[in-house]
Amino acid sequence: MSHPDIVIVGSGLFGLTVAERCAEELGLRVLVLERRHHLGGNAYSERDPETGVEVHKYGAHLFHTSNERVWEYANRFTAFTDYRHKVFGKYQGQVYSLPLNLALINQFFGRSHTPDEARALIAEQASEFDTASATNLEEKAISLIGRPLYEAFIKGYTAKQWQTDPTELSADIITRLPVRYTFQNGWFSDTHEGLPVDGYTAWLTRMADHPNIEVRLETDFFDVAENYKGKVPIVYTGPVDEYFGSSEGRLSWRTVDLEESVVETDDFQGTGVVNYNDQDVPYTRIIEFKHFHPEREKTHLPGKSVIVHEYSRFAEEGDEPYYPVNTAEDRAKLLKYRELAQAEPMVLFGGRLGTYQYLDMHMAIGAALSMFDNKLKPHFTEGAELK
Ligand code: FAD
Ligand code: NA
């Protein structure tokens, strides 16, 4: 495509949603530039050739949404299974059902509680600190759920996630720590939930499967930027600091090292996700991917399973940026980048990297649909200025 009407940098869910809308609804010629060897951004997955198990290459991705428009839109490209996500957590040789709920409380304290009894117990334990005057994450967490549950289920896990003792972390990293005084242990509470029936990559590929869309892989925008900057509208979903040559300093991210292995057993842990809460276990979670698709049992090689150990740490140069650290310093830099982005002619910044925000998939799709409605469509149909 030599003269696209619009260039999209990045083929994640944000970029693909914008691309699909521009091609399908406005008939524009869309060029998508992607520096990786595949499309789909972090939602990309591959079937492990040996075992047939679908592995999410950038960490486990579970789709859920209460946004009807996003649900309807996603269903144009894929059907979803009825998978309901559950998470279990190991601590000192026991396995508990998460999130914090009545089953966990009963098991942890070694006897049954009615919902009212459990509520009274946790309120009593939480009275050690006042939430409003908590000075760090540890005090805040104890003020919400009490010391025993904090020490078992928050302290070690949080310390590993942040490589920082929770007494050194800001209290506002957590706003709430909900405890369910029921046995309900579904991880999400959205209206819709499921996994794409034939995998993430099939879904993402169908979004781009349009005669007006060209996805150019292994192409870094910065190598070809001069062909497009100022000449054609650009939607940029890469890291905002990188766009401006990190002129205001680098924004900080956490990353996750994903160590994938094939184990010689049909079933390693009996469920998709187990958190490891003990601080002396170096990984935060183990994912066993076959459990996300029990309906595919016959396509999985018996006697083997694919697992991934996750290790969380601060991202360095060259690491995949996964979760914004969002220190006060980061927020100050971000404000400056937002001003620069606002002033950049004919370029819109979007997605999780372009806005330095953790976005679930449904949020990335929703934000992309809004950008299309509020900015791109008025520009292309009414000549509104692009900003
Ligand atoms: P991305 O998917 O990151 O896509 C950005 C793309 O831009 C990338 O492909 C990148 O290679 C490309 N790019 C960047 N710079 C350039 C450049 N200069 N030139 C060309 N291409 C470039 N969401 C859920 O709903 N459920 C989950 O369970 C879930 N789990 C997650 C787990 C992890 C570890 C992470 C990090 C995210 C998870 N998400 C989950 C969020 C989901 O990954 C995001 O919503 C989604 O990635 C957002 O899409 P995006 O298009 O904004 O960004
Ligand atoms: Na309290």
pLDDT tens per residue across span 48-93: 999 999 999 999 999 999 999 999 999 999 999 999 999 999 999 9
Residue 85 lies in a domain: no
226 and 264 together in one domain:
no
125 and 263 together in one domain:
no
* Domain total of the chain: 3
pLDDT tens per residue across span 216-270: 999 999 999 999 999 999 999 999 999 999 999 999 999 999 999 999 999 999 9
Residue 126 lies in a domain: yes
CATH code of the domain containing 246: 3.40.50.720
Grouping H, G, I as helix, E, B as strand and the rest as coil, residue 94 is strand
Residue 156 lies in a domain: yes
273 and 145 together in one domain:
no
**CA-closest residue to ligand 1 atom 10:** 10
pLDDT for the residue numbered 282: 96
Of 188, 183, 191, the C-alpha closest to 100 is: 183
Residue 49 lies in a domain: yes
* Probe residue for ligand 1, chosen from 8, 16, 42 as the CB with the greatest number of ligand atoms within 8 Å: 42
Q: State the residue range of the domain holding 163.
A: 100-173
**CA-closest residue to ligand 1 atom 32:** 59
Residue at which a domain ends, from 141, 173, 205:
173
Measured from the Cβ of residue 245, the count of other Cβ atoms closer than 10 Å reads 8
For residue 175, how far is its CA from the centre of ligand 2 (angstroms)? 13
Enumerate residues lining ligand 1, CB below 6 A: 9-15, 33-36, 41-43, 58-63, 220-222, 237-238, 256, 322, 351-353, 359-362, 364
Q: Which residues are catalytic?
A: 176, 180, 254, 285, 310, 358, 360
230 and 335 together in one domain:
yes
Residue at which a domain ends, from 142, 173, 204:
173
108 and 132 together in one domain:
yes
Phi and psi torsions of 72, nearest 5°: -65, -40
Residues 6+ apart with CB under 8 A from 383: none
244 and 291 together in one domain:
no
340 and 378 together in one domain:
yes
**CA-closest residue to ligand 1 atom 33:** 59
CATH code of the domain containing 124: 1.10.3110
Residue 180 lies in a domain: no
pLDDT for the residue numbered 178: 92
Q: Mean per-residue pLDDT for 321-327?
A: 92
227 and 337 together in one domain:
yes
pTM of the model: 0.96
132 and 265 together in one domain:
no
208 and 336 together in one domain:
yes
Measured from the Cβ of residue 339, the count of other Cβ atoms closer than 10 Å reads 11
Cα-Cα-Cα-Cα dihedral sign, residues 52, 56, 61, 67: negative
| pLDDT reading at 173 higher than 90 | no
Residue at which a domain ends, from 295, 314, 333:
314
11 and 68 together in one domain:
yes
Atom from ligand 1 closest to the CA of residue 354: 52
Residue 10 lies in a domain: yes
Measured from the Cβ of residue 299, the count of other Cβ atoms closer than 10 Å reads 13
What is the four-CA torsion angle of 152, 153, 154, 157, rounded to 10 degrees? 100
Of 148, 53, 55, the C-alpha closest to 100 is: 148
Residue 187 lies in a domain: no
121 and 156 together in one domain:
yes
